[in-house]
Amino acid sequence: MGQSPSPFDPLKIGGIEIPGRVYKAATSETSADEDGFVTDRLLLFYERMARGGTPMMITGNMYAGPLGKSTQNMTGIEADEKIPGLRRLTDRVHELGSLIFGQVSHCGRQVVAHLMGFEAVSASAVNEPTMGTQPRPLTLAEIDNVVEEFGAAGARASEAGFDGIEIHGGHGYLISQFLTPHTNRRSDAYGGGFENRTRLMVEVLRAVRAAVGPAFPIVLKLNGDDSLVGRRGLGTDELVRVGRLAQDEGCDAIEVSVGHYESGFRMCAGSFEGFYREFLEHGSGQDMTRLRQAVLRLLHPLLDRVSGRMWPPREGFNLAYSRRFKKELDIPVICVGGFQSVEAIAGALERGDADAVSSGRQFIADPFFYRHLREGRTGPTCDFCNRCLARTGYEPVDCYNPTVRAAKEALLREVGE
């Protein structure tokens, strides 16, 4: 009674109990086939972590509708034909004793639209500078359609055997574009004051809840700060208020992150060693203008160093935000951001800064991270170079740091793969 939980204690989220408090955070897999269907490669990514005893894994973002797809080879949950493949994934994970939540998203303006072959949409026509995308505002009928798409995706997630759903309300994705005054300049019922900017989120939560029933866990990923310096981004006070509204709407947990794409790399703070070269040669740098490519070719070592200084990695880099959500919410709060040691995770739980944590890059480096934490053993350790991120949308998610990858391959041989 009153004792602080350990990283290995169970946590109840909605109608289910998860046997641990360290989860795999969503990292887009770039491992579906070109039409968004589950492949063996995608299965393998989750099988490894399930074999490593990970209590719960959140998939990379899956598009709820065709205009929500942000990259090639992203997994889709936008059509009933996707259900059998997704069912194969959840069955396999369950056979191995783990739980899996499906993350559902709509990218809105955060897409290189001409590469995807469609027009980008958003709350308003606000240019996305990192991708050079000029979106058009969604019409009211299209907003209704987006809400329906999320609801239908929820129904498919439940039918496909997922243990819960995570709605992506952070990182400057469509719901976050509506929440944030910088990206939402609408003057209709979806723009302006708090109630209007949160309307899309509320309607999505209601549609998903109606589709999945009362016991199915719904998690919302939300920023703890938009980190849009000099623009009209949301700070922690208002985002906590958004979290409270989500709780009132029946959301079962909040995962706290930070930043839009145009905030820079706060959401993936790191060392950036080799990042920009990787991005140029193996990521979306390949599709940039010749001018941008020439700048990168010339300046990549400098850009690595500057980024590493601006956004240095730190364990629990979103804890200052999750602590605020914890103070004001009654539902579980999951904190993501830089976790890779039992000390940092146990410390966060002991201080009551979060009820659970999630890790993205550390699990990419070491799929057996959870087992290693339990055994007090150090496995391959992510150095946050972000080369995995540099290849997103171009190559299957994996560790592309030569040293860490060698350690990962040695581990996989050791476990008989």
Q: Annotated catalytic sites, by residue? A: 173
CB of 153 to ligand FMN, least distance (A): 14
Among 155, 392, 393, 400, binds ligand FMN (CB under 6 A): 392
**Cβ distance to ligand FMN smaller for residue 307 or 359:** 359
Kindly identify the residues of this chain, within the stretch 277-336, that bind ligand FMN according to CB under 6 A.
336
Q: Is 54 in the site for ligand FMN (CB under 6 A)?
A: no
Does residue 266 belong to the site contacting ligand FMN (CB under 6 A)?
no
| By the rule CB under 6 A, 135 interacts with ligand FMN | no
Instruction: Write out the H or E segment, with its range, that includes residue 333.
Output: strand 333-336
- Residue 130 neighbours by CB under 8 Å, 6+ apart: 261, 262
- Minimum distance from residue 172 beta carbon to ligand FMN (Å): 11
388 forms part of the interface with ligand FMN (CB under 6 A): yes
Q: Which residue number, 61 or 133, has a Cβ lying nearer to ligand FMN?
A: 61
Going by C-alpha positions, the residue among 416, 391, 411 that lies closest to residue 401 is 391
Give the C-alpha distances (Å, rounded to integers) separating 208 from 101, 102, 189, 205: 14, 13, 21, 5
- For residue 165, what are the β-bridge partners? 102, 218
**Cβ–Cβ < 8 Å for 135, 109:** yes
Nearest-angstrom CA–CA distance, 364 and 31: 14
Instruction: Kindly indicate which of the ranges 20-28, 48-56, 109-117, 286-294 contains the residues binding ligand FMN, using the contact rule CB under 6 A.
Output: 20-28
Residue type for position 382 = C
CA angle 279-400-366, nearest 5°?
Answer: 135
Residue nearer to ligand FMN on the CB measure, 137 or 373: 373
Query: Minimum CB separation from ligand FMN for residue 32, in Å?
Result: 12
Nearest of 166, 167, 183, 170 to residue 121 by alpha carbon: 183
- Closest approach of ligand FMN to the CB of residue 335, in Å: 10
Beta carbons within 10 angstroms of residue 335's beta carbon: 31
| Comparison of 147 and 382: residue with beta carbon closer to ligand FMN | 382
Rounded Cα distance between 242 and 252, Å, is 14
- Return the beta strands (E) in 68-179 as ranges: 99-105, 121-122, 136-137, 164-168
- Cβ distance to ligand FMN smaller for residue 98 or 257: 257
Return d(Cα 78, Cα 90) in angstroms, integer: 17
61 contributes a contact to ligand FMN by CB under 6 A: yes
**Cα–Cα distance for residue pair 132/92, rounded to 1 Å:** 39
Q: Could you tell me whether strands 16-18 and 11-13 are parallel, antiparallel, or unpaired per DSSP bridges? A: antiparallel
Is residue 157 within 8 A of residue 104, CB to CB? The reply is: yes
Q: Which of residues 65-84 bind ligand FMN (CB under 6 A)?
A: none
- Based on the shown chain and the rule CB under 6 A, indicate whether residue 233 belongs to the binding site for ligand FMN: no
Q: Tokens 């700048």 belong to which residue? A: 295
CB of 103 to ligand FMN, least distance (A): 6
Of 26-34, 41-49, 194-202, 203-211, the segment contacting ligand FMN by CB under 6 A is 26-34
Candidates 198, 257, 271, 401: give the one binding ligand FMN (CB under 6 A): 257
Instruction: Tell me which residue has tokens 């850009």.
Output: 303
Q: Measured from the CB of residue 356, what is the shortest distance to ligand FMN in angstroms?
A: 13
Q: Which residue has the tokens 């740098």?
A: 285
From candidates 221, 324, 326, 408, binder to ligand FMN by CB under 6 A: 221
Question: Min. distance of Cβ 27 from ligand FMN in angstroms?
Answer: 4
359 binds ligand FMN (CB under 6 A): yes
Number of DSSP helices (H) and strands (E) in the chain, helices first = 16, 13
In the block, tokens 């109608």 appear at 15
Q: Is residue 337 within the footprint of ligand FMN (CB under 6 A)?
A: yes
Which of 82, 277, 326, 361 is close enough to bind ligand FMN by CB under 6 A? 361
**Helix segments in 160-289, DSSP class H:** 174-179, 194-197, 199-212, 236-248, 275-282
By CB under 6 A, name the one of 7, 27, 201, 247 that touches ligand FMN.
Answer: 27
Closer to ligand FMN by CB, 53 or 102: give it.
102
In angstroms, give the least distance from the CB of 186 to ligand FMN: 24
Nearer to ligand FMN, 101 or 216 (CB): 101
**Position among 60, 274, 283, 379 found at the interface with ligand FMN (CB under 6 A):** 60
CB atoms near residue 54 (< 10 Å): 27
The residue among 11 and 390 lying less far from ligand FMN, judged by its C-beta, is: 390
CB 102 within 8 A of CB 86: yes
Using CB under 6 A as the criterion, which residues of the chain lie in contact with ligand FMN when the complex forms?
Answer: 25-28, 60-61, 103, 168, 171, 221, 257, 267-268, 336-339, 359-362, 388-389, 392, 397
